[in-house]
Chain A
Amino acid sequence: MTTTDHTRGTGGFCCDEYAAMHAATYGKVSRRGFLGGALALAGATTMVGGAVVTASPARAQSASAVLVVLSLRGAADGLSLVVPHGDPVYYAARPRIAVPSDRLLVKDGFFGLHPAMTDLEPLWTAGKLAAVHATGLPVANRSHFSAMEEMEDADPGSSVRVGWLNRLVAGTPGGSPLQGFSAGSSTIPTSLVGPAPTMSAGRADDVELPGNDREGRRRASLQIMWNSEKSTLGRSMRDTFAAIDAFGPAQAAEDNRGDYPGTDVGQGLATAAQIIRGDVGVEVITVDQGDWDMHTDMGSADGGWMANNARNLAQAMAAFLNDLGTQESKVTLVTMSEFGRRVVENDSNGTDHGYGNVMFVAGAGVRGGYHGRWPGLANSYEADLTVTTDYRQVLADIVSRRFGASVPKVFPGLHWQSTGVMA
């Protein structure tokens, strides 16, 4: 990391103003807000001409752990990604779309990875990648939209819309919107929604006040208009101001997106890695990938929709895990999908909505290999891969082991039983 002077924006007055704005909104000021403000004022603020320049790292308290949550939207077929070749029903139920056993990667006696995922082999061999099979919601929900909501809310029985990642960052020290970051899409996923401030951007370079000027007129003008705006828009605008002030190092970090696939997941993870290397206190990053809803024409092991998606996913994950520099020892990645597909293929060479699925966990703290309890498949029209591991158990392992977070606070009502996927 270089220690460039960041003269972006007019960061100097951000900190305690931001704290005051939050106080106006929430009726209290986070401790971090005050501390950050005090530090900035006492130490690093200098006057240059009419502008105040703050060396941003004053606010950028390093995160002790980072979690990247990659959502495979549309319900990915876990039975194609991590194939249970040891279960004969798998081949009986999918005469046209099954992945042949002799093509699988990193096979053990029962499971193997889709052959398009070669990029993940080195990570697997190094013990940095785990797959937990037969995971999912406690009760089947086959609606994409309500299953996603339920999974990301992760607080059954509560009608308050607060996501589990928002509860996680709310429980860690600090109150910066940079602690929770949505990379790549404009809408923030349910998992991050809630009272703790969060940030979002497609690329690190997008985090700026368009039209900003050296004198700070633009910023001051926007604050006049938005300072006391009570709406969700107002809150978001103030989060944006605060995030911009602390974001310089992330923008100065190398952007290696050329090493990633040009797809949404590749570019989202490239942004995530750049931000992480910037070490600006980001604890949680969400990245979304759509396009897994394969009701028709999934293709074969050699090519087609599933093979392309699997390859893209593997390339992006591998590129990301190799792009973390000095932060590598902090970063864990987990994949989730709202539900799995049915065991039996349909007549359009696809699969319809099912239940159990696989989760990948990679990076820091992971015990590599295949995890989970296999329930056995049934070969009937409506058969699902049943769920033997509540997906929250896997996430609870991560938040507890990596963040020291309180499991009952992040996953209310969960009877936590470790899956053994985290060391």
Chain B
Amino acid sequence: MTAAPTRDAVPRRTATVGALAAAALAGTAGRASADPDELGGYAPRKHKGAPALLSRADRHLVSRFSYGITPTLAKEVRKAGGAQRWFERQLNPKAIKDKKADKLAHWWPSFHLSPAVLWQRQRDGIEGGWEVMDDYARYVLMRRMTSRRQLLEVMTEFWENHLHVAASGDPQFTWRVDYGNTIRKHALGRFDDLLRATTTHPAMLIYLDAGESTKDHPNENLGRELLELHTVGVGNYSEKDVVNSARILTGYSVDYWKTWRPKYNADDHYRGKVKVKGFRDKNKKIVGKATTAAYLRYLARHKDTAQHLAYKLCVKFIDDKPSKALVRHLAKVYLDNDTAIVPVLRALVASPAFQHAHDKKVRDPGEDVVATYRVLGVKLAKPAGGEEADDSALQSLVWQADSIGIAPFSWEQPNGQPIDNESWSSPARLMASMRFHMGASAGWADQATKYRKPEQWLGGAHPRFDELVDRLCAELLHRESSKRLLKACCTAVDVKPYDPVDKDSDLVKWRFPQLLTTILDSPEHLSR
């Protein structure tokens, strides 16, 4: 009844499945066995022309600090002398030429307009802030997709999420591109510099209301989130600390509704003694900038901040339940190095926990979108100018990420989107990811974008199907084929492992998207 795909291994039918269901399955799955775990007869077979693969340890390191391993990236890693050396080079992004990514900022002229002009354009109905922000999300996704400074983009994303300023929503959009650039500049520098640059940045002052704060009744929004989200973390501050934190920040503002230029309102600055945790200041001056600078320096160097940041880095780059000892160790490295970020990353990567964590992180919606386009080798075109076709991949990036769960920088609350696995493992997410993978595999109705043609994946004139699957696994997952993947592919497109494939076969002509999407829907592609 269940026809064996090869003569030497007959899949065993199991008794766990009811007879009727088993019969049904045998019918539905074509030649595949009723038992999804019965893999006999699906021995993977090497494709001779498949791209060379990194070792498992190298794949893990590169996978965590990039947006998906392509054959080109693997080549770069090998050229660098292995993943560890590639990682070291990536830690110094200035030494890496990245012309392609640098050019991306010029795809959208509005990024170079002043806040006043952006605001005026929105008021005049020429271009809404949300449109500029959708383009900003596209730009950042494109950077992640194409940049040779992969680690810098990964860390920029990490900090831009940690110090989240929602892009959509008036009127912080006027400053949002500059805010992102500011973070990229400091992403591998020192956290205290990063914190000072972001806390008093107009985008943050507008987003968390500090720009409207006054000495008599300070607005507590930024004062609180600075403590809870950006530095020492929840449970490590008191309500009195919040009030004083807000008082310290009073004065920083922007020229609201006009030029949006930064300005300091000395009249609104609270003067008098302030105390937040161990930070005390007489805060006597009319302009409180020095007090703020000292306060932020204090917060950046606080042991609770060190723990908080170390914990978050572990969750992002190792797994969701890092050990306390490792968090303590990384916090110490952070403090010992005067809040420098690079030494912490080095220590993280050197930890045994990191080395044991391969494939343990779920790709979030943005990571899924970027990795999918990267491994499919899709070439997204520059906007043509004028009205863009809504179905081009470039335009769709934002709604694709949104459909899976979240478009970049659109998380509604100041804590930034979640970085744990559970949040991005919901059924809604999975169904949406599968929908996206299918569309990206097929390249439907999209004239502006260059997708690889099915025959370009074959790598030779007449590979066997099992060889083709091996090649696809190497290209899309950067790993060898497995029995499970091979059987899933055979089942999806109703082909036997030993069937030959060429450019005229039905599979290549009609069913190639189903094959690609099968591999993209695997646990391997949904993890990083």
Contacts and interface: CB of A to CB of B under 8 A. Distances in A.
User: Do A and B interact with each other, yes or no?
Assistant: yes
A208 B16 CA distance: 26
28 contacts: A13-B25, A51-B24, A187-B405, A188-B422, A198-B427, A201-B427, A201-B431, A210-B434, A210-B435, A217-B30, A217-B492, A218-B492, A220-B25, A221-B488, A221-B491, A221-B492, A223-B36, A224-B36, A225-B484, A225-B523, A231-B421, A240-B430, A243-B427, A296-B209, A346-B218, A347-B213, A347-B214, A350-B209
Pick the 8 closest A-B CB pairs, nearest first.
A216-B28, A186-B405, A221-B492, A220-B29, A52-B24, A227-B36, A290-B412, A200-B428
A209 B434 contact: yes
A258 to B, nearest CB: 21
Given A210-B435, A217-B492, A236 B430 contact: yes
B30 A215 contact: yes
Contact of A186 (B30, B229, B432): B432
Contacts of B178: none
A1 interface: no
B21 A13 contact: yes
Contacts of B429: 186-187, 200, 236
B412 A13 contact: no
B125 interface: no
A225 B488 contact: yes
Interface of B: 16-18, 20-21, 24-25, 27-30, 32, 36-37, 209, 212-214, 216-221, 224, 228-229, 234-235, 239, 242-243, 362, 365, 404-406, 412-415, 418, 421-432, 434-435, 438, 484-485, 487-489, 491-494, 514, 517-518, 521-523, 526-527
A296 B219 contact: yes
Given A146-B234, A211-B438, A225-B485, A186 B426 contact: yes
Interface string A219-250: 11111111111011111110110010000000
A13 B37 contact: no
A237 B37 CA distance: 16
Given A73-B412, A221-B29, 15 more contacts: A45-B24, A142-B224, A145-B413, A145-B415, A182-B426, A210-B438, A211-B434, A211-B438, A217-B28, A222-B488, A228-B37, A236-B427, A240-B427, A348-B219, A350-B219
A175 interface: no
A108 interface: no
A280 interface: no
A37 interface: yes
A226 B406 CA distance: 24
B239 A144 contact: no
A352 B484 contact: no
B425 A186 contact: no
Contacts of A17: 17, 21
Contacts of B434: 209-211
Contacts of A220: 25, 28-29, 32, 36, 491
B310 to A, nearest CB: 19
Contact of A201 (B212, B220, B406, B428): B428
A206 interface: yes
A234 B524 CA distance: 11
Contact of A217 (B29, B365, B431, B438): B29
A50 B28 contact: yes
B420 to A, nearest CB: 9
B526 A233 contact: yes
A307 B20 CA distance: 59
A199 B430 CA distance: 11
A13 B20 CA distance: 9
Given A234-B523, A290-B412, A224 B425 contact: no
Given A52-B24, A221-B489, A236-B430, A296 B212 contact: yes
Given A211-B438, A225-B523, A382 B239 contact: yes
Contact of B431 (A16, A208, A225, A346): A208
Contact of A232 (B36, B217, B239, B362): B362
Contacts of B20: 41, 45
B528 to A, nearest CB: 12
A233 B424 CA distance: 8
A160 interface: no
Contacts of A186: 365, 404-406, 424, 426, 428-429, 432
A12 interface: yes
Contacts of A352: 219-221
A143 B221 CA distance: 11
B206 to A, nearest CB: 10
A405 B200 CA distance: 51
A302 to B, nearest CB: 21
Interface in A177-196: 177, 182, 185-188, 193
A126 interface: no
A353 B220 contact: yes
A209 B437 CA distance: 12
A187 B428 CA distance: 8
B219 A295 contact: yes
Contacts of B228: 143, 145
A232 B425 contact: yes
Contacts of A202: 428
A231 B523 contact: yes
A221 to B, nearest CB: 4
A10 interface: yes
A338 to B, nearest CB: 11
A233 B209 contact: no
Contacts of B523: 225-226, 229, 231, 233-234
A210 B431 contact: yes
A154 B214 CA distance: 37
A346 B224 CA distance: 15
A74 interface: yes
A47 B430 contact: no
A233 B362 contact: yes
Contact of A222 (B213, B494, B521): B521
A73 B198 CA distance: 25
